[in-house]
Amino acid sequence: MLSRRIFNFIRYITRTHVTLAGRGTRNFRIPIALGIFSAAKCDNIFDGLSSADTLEHEFLIKQATTVNVNAATQLLTVTLVAIQDTSERLRDALSKEICLVQQALEWGEEGTPPHHWDQLVAIRGSLSDLKHNLRTLISYMDYAEKLATVAAEISYLSGNVIASDAICERIEHANRTCNIQKQLNHDLQQESLELQQRAIITSPQLEEKLKQDSAKDKSNAKT
């Protein structure tokens, strides 16, 4: 109904004679109708451009979120591998320390050779460095997890649900792995501590020697 009214209106305009003063009568049919159609056509063009710009911006945002997710995933992976490697080296050093303390407990202070105590001091120096490195890496992981969480949220809001779900799974995997490594380290450290306490109770003469080694370990760590 509305389109028919517009059509009749256009027909009426194209048939209207415009009278100019002193020059008779002339017909202006095409220009008026053409102006109306031109305006309608321009509106359609602008609408198309606006839609295209919106789609382009959404695509660029999704692409940027994918880049952020990949970067955050890489940071999580690298930090997690470093934590695993450092934890394994820490447990290896703890095992050596436990072995040296057990041998010293069996041999006694007089039967333990001097180089044995030197080895124990060296192992404890390595343990101090490894514990420091591990604490630093765990703090890195905390920041990496926060960065990955933000990347996951932005990806979800932009409609990039697949990337958001993928990095959320990666965050959960990293948390589980870190907790496992922490628990393994804690268990072995607790075993080493209990052994040293038992050695001190069983052989009081070793108490001073173990304390001296611990003091040397701390001084070496500071230097």
pLDDT tens string 31-76: 444 444 444 444 454 455 455 556 688 888 888 888 999 999 999 9
* Structural contact between residues 127 and 86, judged by C-beta atoms closer than 8 angstroms: no
Q: What confidence score (pLDDT) does residue 8 get? A: 56
Name the burial class of residue 83, with classes exposed (0-12), middle (13-18) and buried (19+) by CB atoms within 10 angstroms of its CB.
buried
Domains, the chain, ordered by start: 62-222 (1.20.58.70)
Q: How far apart are CA 95 and CA 188, in angstroms?
A: 8
What single letter denotes the amino acid at residue 185?
N
Q: Strand locations in the chain, DSSP E?
A: 17-19, 25-27
The parts of the chain modelled with pLDDT lower than 50 are 2, 13, 16-43, 45-46, 49, 215-223
* Structural contact between residues 121 and 217, judged by C-beta atoms closer than 8 angstroms: yes
H/E element, 144:
helix 114-157
